[in-house]
Amino acid sequence: MLYNRKVTAKYILTGLIVLVFATITHQIDAKGKHFRQIFKSLTDDSDTSKHSSKKNNKSTTSDTLHKTDTAHNINDTSKKVTVDTLHFSKDSLDAPVAYKAEDSAVLIIPSKQFFLYGKANAKYTNMTLDANVIKYDQSTQLITAYGGTDTGNSPLNLPKMVQAGSTSTSDTIKFNMKNQRGLTKNTYYKEGEMFIHAQVVKKVNANTEYAWRARFTTCNLDTPHYAFITRKLKIINNKLAVAGPSIPEFEGVPMPIVIPFGIFPMETGRHSGILPPAFANDFSLGLGLQGLGYYKVINDNWDVTFRSNIYTYGGWLIDIKPDYYKRYDYRGTLDLSIQKTKSLNTGGLDASEFTEYNTFFITWSHSSDTRARPGTSFSASVRAGSTKYNRSLPDNAFRNYDNQLASSITYNKMWDQGKYNLSIAANHNQNNNLGLINIQAPSINFTASTIYPFQKIDQVGTPKWYQKLGISYSVTALNQFSFYDSIFNFKKMLDTAMWGVDHRLPITLTLPAFGPFIASPSVSYEERWYGQELIKTWDNTKDTLLTSTKNGFFAARQVSFAVSVNTRIFGTFKFKNGFISAIRHEVKPFISLSYQPDMVGQYFQNVQVDKQGDLARYSKLDGGVVGSFAEGKFGGISFGIDNLLEMKVKDKSDTSEDGTKKVRLLDGFGVTGGYNLIADSLNWSPVTFNLRSTLFGNVNITGGASIDPYGVDSLGNRINKLLWSKGSFGRFTGGNFALSTSLKSKSTDNRADSSRVTPDQTLTPDEQQRQLDYVRQNPAEFVDFNIPWTLQLSLAVNFSRIQAPNLRTYYTQINSNVNVNGDFSLSPKWKIGGGTYFDFRTLKIQTVSLFLTREMHCWQMAINVQLGTFKSFSIVINPKSGILRDLKINRTRSFSSY
């Protein structure tokens, strides 16, 4: 029987059953016996007929289908009732088989065999089989598949089986559909990232296979760059592969190395397991194992990672990192590291052999989803620990130079659609160079948004000018402790406690525009509470300035009245010919009149600062957590102007005749100043300048300066002598300048965006920062070989005049540094790069990092060199595949001259 159309085995079997039922129903005895014999041959089960003369006689069956056929005569009640029961064969399939063939499908009923010819395809449950010829034998439940040859005698349509995420291509496949056992020859097998070529693969159940004389690799080329050769290999789908003694080979050349056994994880998703270590050699710490640990999945929302470093000199590090995440509710990461450092001392003959100390570090990042609790949020960003922890980490120059740490834990609550807001926070900052740690806990802030007391509830039409009068209120309460971690004492820490409260009550009014001018009057009241004041006295016996504190309750108040007027002026100059089409200039001037009485004069006093009897003035409220008010009254004018400059140029990428694009020349250039009309001296305030620009789309420039028009005396105090009268522009008292740019060549694959690293936007800012930190620490792992060269440059300069603690002198502090990072391709597969940090204040190169990397398709090689105070060298060769990530050759050495 030949079928030239696509059918399914389900339809053939159904047709045979219907034919048998029809035979029984119509009592075609002779033909019925013939068809029942055919059906019997297909089912291997005899039909049973039971006759009973009793009325309540019942027929039972253990199979899934039966049919009652009753022959009777309505006039003869003595006729016997005949019951025919049909059974499905035990060798029938438990699910339908969908199949197709390009040439033909052949069903041989007597032998219960089915053939598919020409690009045959069969699908059964989770298994898909493609081959040139597929043969199915129902009696044995065995499927045999094999390929063919084309006119050139080359293989054609080799059998390919896909099941449970694994794929195998073989010369011949034999597979039992009932017990899921099978045998393949000359098989190319793929499971996850692993590729296996074996002479024989034996499948013992749906999830387990054994391979004989196998070559396995993660390289997807027909001739892999590397592989491991083994006689025996066991594969458990989506779980792991276990290999016996194996020999690695590179480019087809076996290496004289034998690996006793190998365990390769193949399970996808989250699962617990051991984290293998990396070998390290540190000059100060000794030989060691780094990263040895365990990953544990607790439940769907929590997991934890344990890692450790162990060194032969006796040092160690333990790191515990729980991660938690619940969709639409919260997510976070806690990382606690405890470290014992025992390093070789190179300080000289008189020094002890080792230096030992214990340190810790904690990082916590937490964020809550506002959809879980509308109006309420809780967040945490914590980076705190021992001041010596970062400098003790080996092979981590970025952390070695990270000396400024800060933390914040905040709870926020809003009421009445955001009109009222309460924030409770605990903050921390520390300077690892000084060892000074400041903790602000608790820090409470309450804000009432602007209310308009004269505005109607149901406002219709344009409101009156007085209805725009707004009043708001905010209060901040701070409590701060300070201590040095090297001499920490809880009682002494309590002695450093300072508290303060800051109240602010601004009143604003937005008036209608007077033509092009907008006027805004305002009144501001501020009151600050302090828990202590400073007392400075001169000690004649010791010739020094003494400072003490007096605890109590102290309050200072300040009120100001102001009215400001601002406008915007536009001007455009157009060009008829040339590359530039137009230049547009926008000017934003403002002027304000303000008055501020002196309400804090009682807290200022003079103190002797040297033997000559020179006096300096200070505020007894200086150093408070909420700051202090400036002395003196002000009644004068403040003024300023800001500029924006841009131009239109012809766009070469625009094919239209009038295609143009905007180019910003200046994002802002402003000047501000003031004049006190009621002061008897020092009427002019310092003049400040600011500059912002982005040139050519990728050169960012920012700058600022402060110029004082008055001179100073021998102690650095301002005197009432204008430098302008002497032809000087003024005295430069502070400023900053920063320039940064990022340049790169065009991508060789013409990609529009070739950014090497894009932070995952689903992560919290702290998690993104840690991701970027890892990139900085391991730049060789993130190079883009499609970009021939890149260059990142940044320059920063800061200048300031600071009064010394003795109040006698001022000193100048200048910080200036330059950062340069970049890479370029030596060839399509080799890339070299690095970076450096130069400090102009010390005239020293603080650190130099270099890397050399080689792209090897399925492997990568990276050489990293770190120079400076902390020195390190590492070379790592490892596969790119995730399942073989820890199968690497590494050599690491680090030194420290700290």
Give 823-860 pLDDT, tens digit per residue. 888 888 888 988 888 888 888 887 888 888 888 788 87
pLDDT < 70 positions in the chain: 1-93, 346-351, 395, 397-398, 655, 657, 749-785, 806-808, 886, 895-898
Please give the C-alpha separations between residue 205 and each of 171, 178, 208, 405, in angstroms, as whole numbers.
21, 10, 6, 56
User: CA dihedral defined by 778, 782, 783, 785, rounded to 10 degrees?
Assistant: 150
Strands (E) in 369-484, as ranges, are: 376-385, 404-415, 420-431, 436-451, 469-484
Alpha-carbon torsion (203, 205, 207, 210), positive or negative: negative
Nearest-angstrom CA–CA distance, 556 and 620: 11
Alpha-carbon torsion (275, 276, 282, 284), positive or negative: positive
Q: CB within 8 A of 168, min separation 6: which ones?
A: 160, 161, 184, 187, 188, 189, 190, 201
- Claim: this prediction has a pTM higher than 0.75: no
Task: Return the ∠ at Cα 66 (arms to 62 and 69), rounded to 5°.
Answer: 140
CA-atom Rg of the chain in angstroms: 42
pLDDT in tens, 459-510: 777 788 888 889 999 999 999 988 888 777 787 788 888 999 999 999 998 8
Q: What is the mean pLDDT of the chain?
A: 80
Across-strand partners of 673? 639
| Contact by Cβ (8 Å): 194, 216 | yes
Nearest-angstrom CA–CA distance, 149 and 102: 16
